[in-house]
């Protein structure tokens, strides 16, 4: 790659003079943001940025200042963030900021080549650097791109944990209940194995120490992990977590040390979601110069279940002292430019009032953190924070639906997509939020719920799976298969095949049925070649794969039109992506043939069994729908999403549903305790807080994120009974919420205050 020389540095006064001005003619940086931008990096920078305080805005101008004023070469600046979507947003805003400087006539801005900046998630950047530097461990290696693909690999390679029938082993790591009498099924074992392996990698677990403990469960786990590493190496594959380990190994090698020695400027966004191995990577990248900026908010740390440790941010000063021999410069962004003053007052009272968030020994929050200050151009005397608390969910749902209808039909919001229903789980069931989504649809409003975990039950997705099954296995019966299917899969296949038949019974899809029948006949009439017993096209013009069959099915109606539907289309695409990953691990999707008892050929029994027990089960086991990386919202549709999914977004109206549904003590908290003795980190807390305390932290941070998404109206809605009262007390902040909450009846005044 050709490297373009960076433009000659400009002065800081010239940089400020060229900054584009916001409406009203004020400089688009607060005093605290300016201090961040002007930092001289004699010390590392530690930026704590609360919700709505312009974190991304600050990052953009800080980065442009480093490039244009400080003269950092673009190819030596690394800017990382937690998700691809956030990276795309940063890249777009950097481009727009650069263009604004060009339009303002800043000398050298037009020559700044932002394409040379290393910008992306750490996984992406690690992969890019390792490929560019031709690191042997990652050359010509295929990445297991997600958790489901990793599970397919664990099953395909028959990891020892797949055959672990020791119930006590699984119970120890909270991966089945103490009351269970049987160990997890194969699919769950693969899921749990992947989780265990990922945590061992991300926490840099010392395998020698774990084995030396002498505990049989740890010895078994070490052996299974080492087997997993061996199988990955033999199969020329790696996973997301191990890509980071490879990167750290490279950085510590002579070649990596030489690369770092040239000087890197490292800027890390969403640092509260960092895990121990990432923490070490960032400090190794920064080298002895310590040109390191971390930006985040401990109160918005949501990803403990993925291995994140909020202590990386709250104890960042200890890490700097450990790795660099000096403390960082702390800086707080507190001016909230998003929310109504009542909402800002509410979130301040909520996060600061919980005793669980204050500990005299362990830093649960960043030290000396000031409250948010309301600076948004949002006003009005209406009650901006309200509660709908009813004796049952259907009653609460009816009131919520009426409120949403009033807002949308009354023109109080410009579009239904400015209303967001946020919840712990978006599963639309009687035990979930089904009453609320049903009530809103009954008001004539559309709901967009891309994380409902209902993709596998969508009528079209079911029909597509059913069509696939009927095509490959016209004589399907569980007793005909070579081995029993996992629990739930036979029933799911019956639903899928029935959904396909229901589609055909409409009488509008004869061409689809003709294709399925003709394909069945083509299989039956195939000649089995002993040297290559796989299904081929007529005249042996290439192989027939599972993906090619799926593409053909998708070309027929109604599936072809469904692909253009924002909800159904994404579900069908998800099924296609999962199939592609399945094919990569199971015979490249080839369809092996075997003799049919009645003459001719049929699909081989083990091919069918793997298709059903691995691919179909993977889809049927509560798959999350994908979220489009470019457009999370659909115009004209009320948004339903998990609180996790809402992070980084804002809405005019936020309604938090089912406050009684909260994080709980889980395998995540148990794994933290189990692996604590075998991993080291300079930010590891001096005292291990209990699992209950950490689960409480997770709940409080989760609802803090939910509440702080709202610009003009925040509503908390659900069932309030003696049983749910303790949960409500936590999400209401206990006594600290008094005086800040109005009942739903007061919302009638909203008509005079358009949102």
Instruction: Give me the domains of the chain, ranges plus CATH numbers.
Output: 12-131+244-333 (3.40.50.300), 142-235 (no CATH), 373-451+628-752 (3.40.50.300), 464-620 (no CATH)
288-to-44, 125, 285, 291, 325 alpha-carbon distances in Å: 11, 21, 9, 8, 9
Q: Six-digit token pair at 52? A: 């709505």
Binding-site residue ranges for ATP: 49-56
Find out whether 67 and 15 touch, Cβ atoms under 8 Å: no
- For residue 286, the model assigns a pLDDT of 93
Prior bond of 558 cis (ω within 30°): yes
| Count of alpha carbons within 13 angstroms of residue 104, beta-carbon side | 16
What residues does 46 pair with on adjacent strands?
294, 330
Residue 105 scores a pLDDT above 70: yes
Confidence of residue 231 (pLDDT cuts 50, 70, 90): very high
Q: What is the DSSP letter of 5?
A: P
How is the chain split among helix, strand and coil, in percent rounded to 5?
Answer: 50, 10, 35
pLDDT at 541: 63
Q: Tokens 């490039």 sit at which residue?
A: 67
Q: Is the pLDDT of residue 45 over 70?
A: yes
The answer to whether residue 752 scores a pLDDT higher than 60 is no
Does the pLDDT value for residue 253 go beyond 60? Answer: yes
Q: What is the pLDDT of residues 664-701, one digit of tens each?
A: 899 999 999 999 999 888 888 878 899 999 999 999 99
3-state secondary structure of 6: coil
Tokens encoding 302: 């949501």
Residue 169: pLDDT band with limits 50, 70, 90 = very high
Among residues 612, 594, 610, the alpha carbon closest in space to that of 602 is found at 594
Q: What is the pLDDT of residues 697-724, one digit of tens each?
A: 999 999 999 999 999 999 999 999 999 9
The CA-based dihedral angle spanning residues 183, 188, 190, 194, taken in that order and rounded to the nearest 10 degrees:
-110
Query: Which phi and psi (to 5°) does residue 174 adopt?
Result: 60, 35
How far is CA 303 from each of CA 204, 239, 298, 682, rounded to the nearest angstrom? 18, 19, 11, 20
CA distance 333 to 48: 6
- The answer to whether the CB of 71 falls within 8 A of the CB of 6 is yes
Q: What does the pLDDT average to over 426-441?
A: 91
Residues contacting residue 389 through CB under 8 Å, at least 6 positions apart: 396, 716, 717, 718, 719, 720, 728, 743
Binding residue positions? 49-56
List, for residues 469-505, the tens digit of each pLDDT value.
999 999 898 888 888 888 888 999 999 999 999 999 9
Contact 653, 750 (CB under 8 A): no
10-29 pLDDT, tens digit per residue, is 999 999 888 765 444 445 78
Helix axes 254-261, 240-252, angle to 10 degrees: 80
Q: How far is CA 743 from the centre of its chain?
A: 34
Terminal-residue alpha carbon distance, the chain = 51
Residue 104 scores a pLDDT above 70? yes
Give pLDDT tens digits for 446-459: 998 866 555 556 78
**Quick one: CA dihedral 659, 272, 353, 419, positive or negative?**
negative
pLDDT score at 572: 74
User: Rounded to the nearest 5°, which phi and psi values hold at 49?
Assistant: -120, 110
More confidently predicted of 629 and 408: 408
Contact partners, residue 10, CB within 8 Å, separation at least 6 = 68, 69, 106, 107, 108
Which helix (H) or strand (E) element contains residue 47? strand 45-49
Q: How far is CA 608 from CA 163, 582, 621, in A?
A: 22, 13, 18
- State residue 579's pLDDT score: 85
User: In sequence order, which residues have a C-beta less than 8 Å from that of residue 550 and are 6 or more positions away?
Assistant: 464, 468, 575, 576, 579
For residues 62-73, average pLDDT: 95
Q: Which of 17-31, 157-171, 288-302, 523-537 has the lowest mean pLDDT?
A: 17-31
How remote is the C-alpha of 539 from its chain's centroid?
Answer: 46
Residue 41: C-alpha distances to residues 6, 265, 290 (Å)? 20, 10, 8
Distance CA 121, CA 134 (A): 20
Contact at 8 Å (CB) between 145 and 127? Answer: no
Spatial separation of the C-alpha atoms in residues 574 and 627, rounded to whole Å: 10
Beta strands 329-333 and 710-719, pairing class = unpaired
Q: Residue 602 has which token pair? A: 């049929």
* Between 633 and 57, residue with greater pLDDT: 57
| Distance from C-alpha of 693 to C-alpha of 162, rounded to nearest angstrom | 33
Structure tokens belonging to residue 548: 């090619």
What pTM was computed for the model?
0.86
pLDDT for the residue numbered 185: 86
pLDDT at 58 over 50: yes
Report how far residue 277's alpha carbon sits from residue 270's, in angstroms, rounded to the nearest whole number: 15
DSSP secondary structure, 197-255, as one string:
HHHHHHTT--HHHHHHT--HHHHHHHHHHHHHHHHHHHTTEEEHHHHHHHHHHHHHSHH
What are the residues whose beta carbons fall under 8 Å from the beta carbon of 141, sequence distance 6 or more?
A: 236, 237, 238
Q: Max alpha carbon distance in the chain (Å)?
A: 86
Smallest Cα–Cα separation from 188: which of 140, 147, 226, 133? Answer: 147
Report the alpha-carbon distance of residue 28 to residue 46 in Å, rounded. Answer: 21
Helix runs in 444-488, H state only: 459-472
The mean pLDDT of 91-116, rounded to a whole number, is: 91
pLDDT at 592 over 60: yes
Among the residue ranges 236-240, 261-265, 392-396, 539-543, the one predicted with the least confidence is 539-543
CA proximity to 553, closest of 524, 505, 515, 603: 515
Alpha carbon 338 to chain centroid, angstroms: 24
- The angle formed by the CA atoms of residues 673, 357 and 688, to the nearest 5 degrees, is 20
Helix 316-324 crosses helix 276-286 at what angle (to 10 degrees)?
A: 50
Band (632; pLDDT cuts 50, 70, 90): low
Residue whose tokens read 């296609």: 576
Instruction: Determine if residue 207 is left, alpha or beta; phi over 0 gives left, psi from -120 to 50 gives alpha, anything else beta.
Output: alpha
Instruction: Kindly state the tokens that stand for 682.
Output: 């300079």
Alpha-carbon distances, residue 672 vs 202, 554, 592, 675 (angstroms): 11, 44, 44, 6
Q: How many CB atoms lie within 10 A of CB 551?
A: 12
Strand-pair partners of 640: 421
Q: What is the pLDDT of residues 331-351, one digit of tens each?
A: 999 999 999 999 999 999 999
Query: In which element (H, E) is residue 667 found?
Result: helix 667-676
**Residues in contact with 36: Cβ distance below 8 Å, sequence separation at least 6, in sequence order:** 45, 47, 58, 62, 331, 333
Q: Which of 492, 503, 439 is nearest to 469 (CA)?
A: 492
Q: Is the dihedral of CA 98, 100, 103, 106 positive or negative?
A: negative
Q: How far is CA 700 from the centre of its chain?
A: 19
What percent of the chain has pLDDT above 90? 63
Question: What is the spatial distance between Cα 394 and Cα 401, in angstroms, rounded to a whole number?
Answer: 10
Token pair for residue 582? 């399945």
């Amino acid at each position: 790659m050709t490297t373009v020389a960076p433009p000659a540095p400009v002065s800081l006064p010239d940089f400020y003079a060229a900054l584009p001005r916001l409406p009203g003619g004020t400089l688009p940086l607060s005093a605290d943001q300016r201090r961040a931008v002007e930092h001289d990096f004699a010390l590392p920078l530690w930026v704590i940025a609360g919700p709505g305080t312009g974190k991304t805005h600050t990052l953009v101008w800080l980065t442009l200042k480093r490039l244009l004023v400080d003269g950092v070469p673009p190819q030596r600046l690394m800017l990382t963030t937690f998700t691809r979507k956030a990276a795309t947003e940063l890249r777009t805003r950097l481009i727009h900021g650069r263009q604004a400087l060009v339009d303002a006539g800043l000398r050298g801005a037009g020559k700044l080549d932002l394409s040379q900046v290393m910008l992306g998630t750490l996984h992406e950047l690690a992969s890019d650097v390792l490929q560019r530097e031709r690191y042997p461990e990652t050359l010509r290696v295929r990445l297991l791109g997600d958790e489901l693909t990793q599970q397919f690999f664990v099953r395909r390679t028959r990891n020892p944990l797949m055959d672990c029938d020791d119930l006590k082993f699984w119970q120890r790591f909270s991966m089945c209940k103490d009351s269970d009498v049987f160990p997890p099924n194969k699919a769950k074992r693969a899921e749990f194995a992947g989780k265990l392996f990922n945590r061992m990698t991300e926490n840099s677990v010392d395998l020698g120490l774990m084995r030396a403990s002498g505990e049989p469960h740890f010895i078994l786990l070490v052996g299974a992990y080492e087997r997993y590493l061996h199988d990955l190496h033999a199969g020329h594959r790696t996973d997301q977590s191990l890509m980071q380990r490879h990167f750290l190994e490279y950085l510590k090698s002579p070649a990596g040390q030489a690369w770092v020695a040239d000087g890197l400027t490292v800027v890390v966004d969403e640092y509260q979601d960092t895990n121990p191995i990432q923490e070490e990577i960032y400090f190794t990248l920064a080298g002895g110069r310590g040109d390191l900026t971390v930006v985040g908010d401990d109160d918005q740390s949501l990803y403990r279940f993925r291995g994140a440790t909020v202590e990386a941010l709250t104890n960042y000063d200890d890490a700097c002292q450990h790795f660099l021999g000096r403390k960082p410069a702390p800086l707080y962004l507190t001016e909230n430019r998003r929310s109504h003053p009542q909402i800002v007052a509410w979130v301040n009272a909520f996060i600061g009032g919980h005793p669980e968030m204050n500990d005299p020994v362990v830093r649960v929050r960043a030290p000396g953190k000031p409250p948010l200050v309301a600076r948004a151009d949002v006003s009005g005397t209406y009650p901006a924070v309200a509660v709908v608390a009813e004796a049952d969910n259907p009653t609460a749902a009816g009131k919520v639906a009426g409120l949403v209808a009033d807002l949308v039909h009354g023109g109080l919001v410009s579009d239904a997509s400015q209303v967001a229903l946020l919840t712990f789980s978006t599963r639309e069931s009687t035990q979930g939020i089904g009453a609320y989504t049903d009530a809103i649809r009954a008001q004539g409003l559309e709901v967009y719920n891309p994380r409902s975990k209902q993709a596998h039950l969508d009528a079209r997705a079911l029909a597509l799976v059913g069509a696939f099954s009927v095509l490959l296995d016209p004589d399907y019966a569980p007793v005909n298969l070579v081995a029993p299917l996992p629990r739930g899969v036979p029933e799911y296949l019956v639903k899928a095949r029935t959904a396909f038949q229901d589609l055909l019974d409409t009488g509008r899809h004869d061409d689809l049925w003709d294709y399925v029948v003709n394909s069945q006949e083509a299989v039956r009439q195939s000649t089995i070649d002993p040297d290559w017993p796989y299904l081929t096209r007529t005249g042996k013009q290439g192989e027939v794969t599972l993906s090619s069959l799926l593409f053909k099915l998708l070309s027929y109606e109604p599936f072809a039109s469904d692909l253009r539907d924002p909800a159904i289309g994404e579900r069908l695409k998800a099924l296609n992506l999962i199939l592609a990953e399945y094919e990569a691990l199971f015979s490249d999707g080839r369809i092996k043939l075997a003799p049919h008892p009645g003459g001719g050929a049929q699909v081989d029994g083990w091919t069918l069994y793997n298709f059903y027990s691995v691919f179909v089960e993977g889809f049927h086991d509560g798959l999350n729908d994908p979220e489009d990386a470019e457009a999370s919202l659909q115009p004209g549709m009320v948004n339903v999403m998990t609180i996790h999914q809402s992070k980084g977004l804002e809405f005019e109206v936020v309604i938090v549903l089912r406050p009684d549904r909260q994080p709980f003590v889980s395998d995540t908290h148990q794994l933290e305790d189990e692996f604590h003795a075998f991993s080291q980190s300079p930010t590891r807390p001096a005292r291990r807080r209990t699992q209950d305390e950490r689960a409480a932290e997770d709940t409080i941070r989760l609802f803090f994120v939910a509440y702080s998404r709202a610009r003009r109206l925040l509503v908390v809605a659900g069932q309030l009974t003696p049983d749910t009262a303790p949960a409500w007390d936590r999400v209401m902040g206990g006594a600290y919420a008094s005086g800040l909450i109005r009942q739903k009846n007061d919302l009638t005044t909203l008509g005079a205050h358009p949102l």
